[in-house]
Amino acid sequence: MSKEKLVVIGGDAAGMSAASQARRQRSDLDIIAFEKTPHTSYAACGIPYYVGDMIKTSDQLVARAPEVFREKQNIDARVLHEVVEIDLEGRRVKAVNLSENAESWESFDKLLIATGASPIVPDVPGKDAEGVFTISSLESGLRCREALDRLNPRNAVVIGGGYIGIEMAEALLMRGCDVTMIEMAPQVMPTLDQDMAGIVAQKLADDGVELLLEEPLTGFDVDSNGRVLAVTTSNRTIPTDFTVLAIGIRPESNLAAAAGVPLGDRNAIRINERMETGIEGVWSAGDCAESKHLVSGKPFWVALGTVANKHGRVAGINIAGGNAVFPGVVGTAITKFNELEIARTGLQQREIDKLGIDSISAKIHSKTRAHYYPGAELINVKLFAEKGNGRLLGAQIIGGPGSGKRIDTAAAALHAGMTIEDLINLDLSYAPPFSPVWDPLQIAARVLLSKL
């Protein structure tokens, strides 16, 4: 009697977490994972720090290599294999061995789609020029780092002011580049309110980044050898030796959609709390799949390694016959630019307004430590609450070292459905090296409570 077979499409966080979890539950399951790049289970969030040379070798970013899955977990991890078609009726997938350019079909009893997300590349002249990079897979990070090492560029342009754009601007400054950042929106960091994003913009400028807002990209000037010479916007031409496209990502759901798998928020694959797609024996997890937002109660797409790993765990347990659920997310994210820590969770003002929630907000400035203790840094906190019942809706925190991880307290409060008064009464730790007597989150909550 043949073994039951699980096929996983995608060999990074969600796919291999699910494969590993399924293996722990069931030693008898035949597991095959297809990954189109040479790498499995790598820390994509660490790529900008590898490019910036804070992390010296790419091996440090790999949590588990393909041979480890094969030898220690009996998971057939097939790298450089791209799945190009899903045949749901025939219960099989078509994979291309990229090393040999050979196609083959693989049958499955159970299927996990974990195809991740892909960078958005605008259809403008010169977009494929040498010297224009996107940051998505570890392979793309290796190409970017190799080019920086080889070319030692002086002028760099970052297109996009979101998380990757901010982190790559920091990395390129660390590599000695003069950096220009182009953003078509009126602000950087679109997941922040404009007043909070302004603090980030000021830090970028203070640390030497030329920031050009409300300037859409129109194309690239390219030399006769196909190498980028300049970036063109609606307003100007900017000479460049090195360019990073970081204008956003989208769920990689085309393969699933072509097979008839239903899509949801922002064309991410629609799933329930068990990671099921609604098609018998087919699950999805990670950056290609949607989640539920616990504050709005609506489907929500977010691409984060934390979410992908949790998705994968739940999917793996259920694929193996268990019963696990993923309740949802609150949209927590954190990054930094040099010493400035940037964090947010829950809803921002425009999302609150779109939902029609009657809300109030408060913004305060405080210190990360007791004001008299050495090293106390400025911290800015903005909180949102629902009028009437005081339910916490969201938080944004920007400040010096020691600021950012305070967002986790707000995230926990959102998961628990706490009110502003609940947040004020939380028994948070205090000592002068760590916090003022009233933590900045609670100071903001007190101001907000006075408005209810």
Q: For tokens 């790993």, name the residue.
A: 309
Evaluate whether 285 touches 273 at the Cβ level (below 8 Å). Answer: no
Residue 211, strand partner residues: 181
- Strands 117-119 vs 249-251: parallel, antiparallel or unpaired: antiparallel
Give the span between the Cα atoms of 369 and 407, in whole angstroms: 16
C-alpha distances in angstroms, 378 versus 76, 84, 97, 202?
A: 51, 51, 53, 14
Residues in CB range of 100: below 8 A, 6 or more apart: none
Concerning whether 45 is annotated as a catalytic residue, the answer is yes
Evaluate whether 204 touches 198 at the Cβ level (below 8 Å). Answer: no
Please give the distance of CA 346 from its chain centroid, rounded to a whole number: 15
* Among 45, 144, 177, 288, the one annotated catalytic: 45
Helix runs in 99-137, H state only: none
| Residue 365: φ, ψ to 5° | -120, 130
Cα Rg of the chain, angstroms: 23
Give the span between the Cα atoms of 22 and 311, in whole angstroms: 13
Give the span between the Cα atoms of 20 and 17, in whole angstroms: 5
**Residue 225: how many other CB atoms lie within 10 Å:** 7
As given in the structure block, the two tokens for residue 193 are: 């309110």
Which residues carry out catalysis? 45
